[in-house]
Amino acid sequence: MTKCIFLDRDGVLVKSVLRNGQLDAPFNLAEFEIVKDAPDAVTNFKKLGYLCIVISNQPGISLGQISQTEVELMNQKLLAQLLLDDIYICPHSHLENCECQKPKIGLFLKAIQRWEIDPKISFMIGDRDTDIQAAKKVGCRSILITGGDDSGLTEPDFYATSLTEAVLVVAQNS
């Protein structure tokens, strides 16, 4: 069994885009910007012996705002610049009631099975309440990156103001 850092994408590894006063996903590669300290943070998680796996809701795919091609290009860019092991994307809108949109844990269960992950020694890093809720259901520890839209309705195990700070939290609790 191995340990894993589950990473939310937008607002954690990639900058959220301000659209109509709300933080949103980038819709295309032109809006896609990797957070400055993300490459080093992922490298440090790997050095600490963790798999690094992205779990991201992208309802814009189902809603026709993001094309499958753009998502593939974004995934390629992430894999080229960050030492990630895998990327799991939920393409559905909330209307579809799928099993994979966070806070549901369908994508986590897939990753856990595929990579033989032990949730108890793993972490989820996210900026939204849905990430923290999912972590609790999965049974891993959670780190909330502050500054997201959600006010932290669910108490995370740890807070961090940046990915660099999240690395310290993980290092101190490994």
Name the residues annotated as catalytic: 8, 10
CB of 101 to Zn ion, least distance (A): 4
Terminus-to-terminus CA distance in the chain, angstroms? 15
Residues 96-135, one symbol each (x = binds Zn ion by CB under 5 A, - = not), give: --x-xx----------------------------------
Neighbours of 47 (CB within 10 A): 11
Q: Rank residues 35 and 124 by Cβ distance to Zn ion and give the closer one.
A: 124
| Inter-residue contact 75 to 30 (CB < 8 Å) | no
Q: Which of 3, 92, 102, 141 binds Zn ion (CB under 5 A)?
A: 92
Q: Rank residues 88 and 158 by Cβ distance to Zn ion and give the closer one.
A: 88
Q: Which of 12, 52, 55, 90 binds Zn ion (CB under 5 A)?
A: 90
Centroid of chain to Cα 25:
12
CB of 136 to Zn ion, least distance (A): 19
* Region of 29-37, 62-70, 93-101, 115-123 interacting with Zn ion (CB under 5 A): 93-101
Q: Rank residues 94 and 120 by Cβ distance to Zn ion and give the closer one.
A: 94
Phi, psi (deg, nearest 5) at residue 161: -90, -10
Residue 7 near Zn ion by CB under 5 A: no
Find out whether the peptide bond into 39 is cis, omega within 30 degrees of 0: no
Angle at 83 between CA 127 and CA 118, to 5 degrees: 65
Structure tokens at 173: 């609790």
Q: Which residues does 21 contact at the CB level (< 8 Å), separation at least 6?
A: none
Phi, psi (deg, nearest 5) at residue 129: -60, -35
Residue 66 near Zn ion by CB under 5 A: no
* Region of 12-20, 58-66, 74-82, 91-99 interacting with Zn ion (CB under 5 A): 91-99
Q: Rank residues 13 and 105 by Cβ distance to Zn ion and give the closer one.
A: 105
Residues that bind Zn ion (CB under 5 A): 90, 92, 98, 100-101
